[in-house]
């Protein structure tokens, strides 16, 4: 059940895919505070530019799948404004209060006349039961809709919860690549604190996943608080740990779902680096292993080729002594002091699992980092060899 104070809907506007939901709307009827985090790619889509400037006043978000409206110049910006304007008119809001999110092919304008024509039906069908449809409408190569929710464990007072929906699939990489996330809560949050909370949660969830290392022009994650629970706003210290825990729980669940549903992915693998010299090196080591095509194809084939992990670590920029490295597959000591530990057969068995963990002890210091990655499969190549078509 999504938190109180919101409604959602979706329609098949015919933007790209025939006869499927491709346009969704979330409205916050009882607005209290909002914020967003956006792609760090310097090629930013028109809806990113639009929403970034208005993220603290997200009364409604209109999201489409099919075209990214990126690298579409001033025409793309005009399309944004017109979509927001007409949505606002139908909802009785200001144009500036309607935010936008798009996913799909870069360089293509949205079929704005089809979008505008679909708006009356979209706004009329808004309901507190529309969130499942909304989550389906934002899918591109996703195979399942991604939704998560968590109650916030307060010690007293009215209950509240966090709900989230996301789309992912390809171009998933640190810095959020090609993902859209919509996080809603009926808690109230200090407007001065809400952005920090979302950023911190994104850094430990969405920014730690990778499908292919590519980063999109359209990443956007929104957090809207309705305050409809009737609780006083969360401030630093006061209830903030409880809220952070629920936010993390929802966003990590969505992050894992995105990697599990990465384009063509058959396995979800957590890469954990322990004992790096500093946090930057821990992150570099984790990321290089998680993004290595040779590691990812070995994961696909359950090929117990630990040398590829060593090779990736060795080019990552992290400083360590090769013969101090231990590598575990779940609890199996696979590589001991940088050398083979005679566990090929056991390792191959673990690598056939759908989900497992590769834990790497660098033995160079005390910094840790973790990431989630998936395998590179034949289907990844098939999907991305003809995505545009």
Q: Specify the residue, 241 or 378, whose C-beta has the smaller distance to a copy of itself.
A: 378
Cα 320 → chain centroid: 31
Minimum Å distance from CB 136 to a copy of itself?
24
**What 3-state DSSP class applies to 44?**
coil
Q: Specify the residue, 191 or 314, whose C-beta has the smaller distance to a copy of itself.
A: 314
Minimum Å distance from CB 107 to a copy of itself?
4
Minimum Å distance from CB 139 to a copy of itself?
18
**What 3-state DSSP class applies to 137?**
helix
Helix (H) and strand (E) counts for the chain? 11, 16
Minimum Å distance from CB 96 to a copy of itself?
24
d(CA 154, CA 213): 38
List of residues contacting a copy of itself (CB under 8 A): 40-44, 68, 70-73, 105-108, 170-171, 175, 177, 212-217, 291-294, 297-298, 300-301, 303-308, 310-315, 319-320, 322-323, 335, 337-340, 376-378, 380-389
Closest CA to 15 of 65, 62, 72, 84: 65
**What 3-state DSSP class applies to 56?**
helix
Q: Specify the residue, 252 or 291, whose C-beta has the smaller distance to a copy of itself.
A: 291
Q: What are the E-state strand segments in 12-75?
A: 23-28, 33-38, 60-67
Q: Rounded to whole angstroms, what are the CA distances from 147 to 58, 194, 239, 246, 260?
A: 20, 21, 24, 14, 13
Label residue 236 exposed, middle or buried (CB < 10 Å: 0-12, 13-18, 19+).
Answer: exposed
Closest CA to 36 of 14, 13, 53: 53
Instruction: Catalytic residue, from 39, 112, 178, 215: name it.
Output: 178
d(CA 224, CA 330): 37
Q: Specify the residue, 184 or 309, whose C-beta has the smaller distance to a copy of itself.
A: 309
Contact 65/22 with Cβ under 8 angstroms?
Answer: yes
Minimum Å distance from CB 172 to a copy of itself?
11
Minimum Å distance from CB 350 to a copy of itself?
15
Residue 58 per-residue DSSP state: -
Identify whether 178 is a catalytic site residue: yes
> Could you count the other beta carbons within 10 Å of the beta carbon of residue 26?
27
Q: Specify the residue, 193 or 358, whose C-beta has the smaller distance to a copy of itself.
A: 358
Closest CA to 356 of 268, 294, 264: 268
Q: Specify the residue, 221 or 249, whose C-beta has the smaller distance to a copy of itself.
A: 221
Active site residue ranges:
178
């Amino acid at each position: 059940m999504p938190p109180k104070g919101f409604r959602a809907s979706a329609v098949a506007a015919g933007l790209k895919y025939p006869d499927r939901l491709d346009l969704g709307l979330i409205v916050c009827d009882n607005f209290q505070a909002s914020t967003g985090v956006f792609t760090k790619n310097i090629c930013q889509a028109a809806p990113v530019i639009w929403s970034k400037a208005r993220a603290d006043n997200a009364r409604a978000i209109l999201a489409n799948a099919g075209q990214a409206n990126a690298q579409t110049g001033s025409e793309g910006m005009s399309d944004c404004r017109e979509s927001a304007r007409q949505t606002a008119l139908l909802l009785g809001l200001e144009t500036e209060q309607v935010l936008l999110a798009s996913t799909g092919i870069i360089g293509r304008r949205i079929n704005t006349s089809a979008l505008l024509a679909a708006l009356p039906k979209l706004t009329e069908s808004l309901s507190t039961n529309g969130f499942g449809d909304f989550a389906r409408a934002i899918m591109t190569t996703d195979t399942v809709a991604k939704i998560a929710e968590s109650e916030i464990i307060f010690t007293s007072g009215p209950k509240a919860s966090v709900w989230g929906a996301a789309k992912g699939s390809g171009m998933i990489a640190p810095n959020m690549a090609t993902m859209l996330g919509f996080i809603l809560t009926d808690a109230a949050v200090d407007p001065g604190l809400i952005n920090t909370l979302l950023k911190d949660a994104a850094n430990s969830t969405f920014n730690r996943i990778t499908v292919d290392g590519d980063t999109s022009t359209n990443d956007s994650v929104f957090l809207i608080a309705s305050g409809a629970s009737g609780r006083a706003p969360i401030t630093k210290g006061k209830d903030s740990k409880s809220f952070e825990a629920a936010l993390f729980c929802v966003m990590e669940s969505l992050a894992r779902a995105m990697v599990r549903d990465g384009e063509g992915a058959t396995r979800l693998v957590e890469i954990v680096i322990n004992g790096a010299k500093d946090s930057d090196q821990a992150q570099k080591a984790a990321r290089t292993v998680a993004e290595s095509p040779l590691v990812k194809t070995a994961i696909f084939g359950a090929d117990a080729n630990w040398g590829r992990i060593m090779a990736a670590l060795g080019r990552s920029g992290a400083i360590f002594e090769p013969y101090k490295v231990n590598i575990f597959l779940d609890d199996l000591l696979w590589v001991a002091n940088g050398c083979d530990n005679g566990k090929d057969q056991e390792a191959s068995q673990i690598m056939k699992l759908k989900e497992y963990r590769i834990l790497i002890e660098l033995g160079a210091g005390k910094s840790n980092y973790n990431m989630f990655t998936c395998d590179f499969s034949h289907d990844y190549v098939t999907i991305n060899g003809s995505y545009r078509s």
